[in-house]
């Protein structure tokens, strides 16, 4: 009897928390985005994107930076202790697993939290992972424009104590050397599916096979 009561109570508690989180949301969406069916929101080809960002060494970068070599791009933020380090640790592991052939792969984390993720913060953070991983940031408007090209959604959520966290699209996007989307590694899919997908993006980038 007591267990049932506690479970019931727990459900009520969760609902109250969810309401608090929703109230703290605001959503960042590019122009016209609500018209697109959400399920079809796959990134544009890199050649159809138009944005300028700054990498963690202060250099200007954009979609053209990624053309010519296969690319692995994902969005996150360095204040996140869970999804982003997990993804970065996995990516580091995959790059190690690919060995020397991974050297041709552009590997980029684009922040969804430009307010806190300065180029310096990005540099400090990516330094803890595989040396091939680059961190890109920009102004909030620049980030919104980049996210729109990748059809990435992100939203700020207030936390207790005045802090905030970010909800965001967590998939890893794979492009071939021409900038065409090859596939997406979803955050929750079994990690052993990742290496074959990365290899496919790299194979499609070899001359005569694309």
Partner 1 sequence: MRPFGIATLVLSLLAAAPPVLADGDDVVIEDAWSRASIGTSRPGVAYMTLRNTGAEPVMVTGMRTDLAMMPMIHATTTDAQGVTRMSHMEEVEIAAGEAVALAPGGLHVMLMDLQRPMVEGESYTLSVIFADGTEASIQVPILGMASRGPAD
Q: Which residues bind partner 1 (CB under 8 A)?
A: 1-10, 12-14, 17-18, 21, 38-39, 41, 78-79, 81-83, 85-86, 88-90, 92-93, 124-125, 128-130, 153-155, 157, 159-161, 163, 165, 167-171, 184, 186-188
| Residue among 61 and 105 whose Cβ is closer to partner 1 | 105
How far, in whole angstroms, is CA 84 from its chain's centroid?
8
Phi-psi region of 58 (alpha: psi -120 to 50; beta: other; left: phi over 0): left
| Residue among 18 and 141 whose Cβ is closer to Cu ion | 18
| CB closest to Cu ion, residue no | 82
| Residue among 161 and 208 whose Cβ is closer to partner 1 | 161
* Residue 34 burial (C-beta neighbours within 10 Å; 0-12, 13-18, 19+): exposed
| Residue among 82 and 163 whose Cβ is closer to Cu ion | 82
The interface region with Cu ion, picked from 74-82, 111-119, 122-130, 187-195 by CB under 5 A, is: 74-82
> Count of alpha carbons within 13 Å of 201, Cβ hemisphere only?
32
Residue 182: strand, helix, or coil: strand
Select the binding partner of residue 186 from partner 1, Cu ion, none (C-beta < 5 to 8 A, by kind). Answer: partner 1
**The pair of three-digit structure tokens given for residue 73, joined into one six-digit string:** 């791009």
Select the binding partner of residue 19 from Cu ion, partner 1, none (C-beta < 5 to 8 A, by kind). Answer: none
**The pair of three-digit structure tokens given for residue 40, joined into one six-digit string:** 């079809």
Q: Are 95 and 202 in contact (CB under 8 A)?
A: no
- Residue 53, number of CB atoms within 10 A of its CB: 24
Select the binding partner of residue 71 from partner 1, Cu ion, none (C-beta < 5 to 8 A, by kind). Answer: none
We find the least distance from the C-beta atom of residue 48 to partner 1, in angstroms, to be 20
């Amino acid at each position: 009897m007591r267990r049932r009561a506690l479970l019931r109570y727990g459900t009520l508690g969760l609902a109250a928390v969810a309401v608090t989180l929703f109230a703290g949301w605001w959503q960042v969406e590019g122009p016209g985005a609500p018209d697109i069916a959400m399920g079809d929101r796959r990134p544009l080809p890199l050649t159809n994107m138009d944005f300028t960002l700054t990498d963690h060494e202060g250099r200007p970068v954009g979609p053209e930076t990624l053309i010519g070599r296969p690319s692995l791009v994902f969005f996150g933020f360095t204040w996140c202790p869970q999804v982003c380090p997990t993804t970065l640790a996995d990516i580091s592991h995959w790059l190690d697993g690919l060995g020397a052939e991974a050297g041709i792969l552009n590997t980029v984390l684009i922040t969804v939290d430009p307010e806190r993720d300065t180029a310096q913060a990005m540099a400090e953070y990516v330094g803890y992972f595989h040396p091939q991983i680059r961190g890109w940031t920009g102004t909030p408007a620049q980030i919104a424009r980049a996210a729109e090209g990748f059809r990435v959604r992100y939203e700020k959520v207030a936390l207790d104590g005045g802090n905030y966290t970010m909800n965001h699209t967590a998939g890893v996007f794979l492009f071939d050397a021409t900038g065409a989307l090859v596939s997406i590694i979803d955050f929750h899919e079994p990690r052993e599916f990742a290496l074959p997908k990365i290899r496919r993006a790299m194979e499609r980038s070899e001359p005569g096979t694309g």
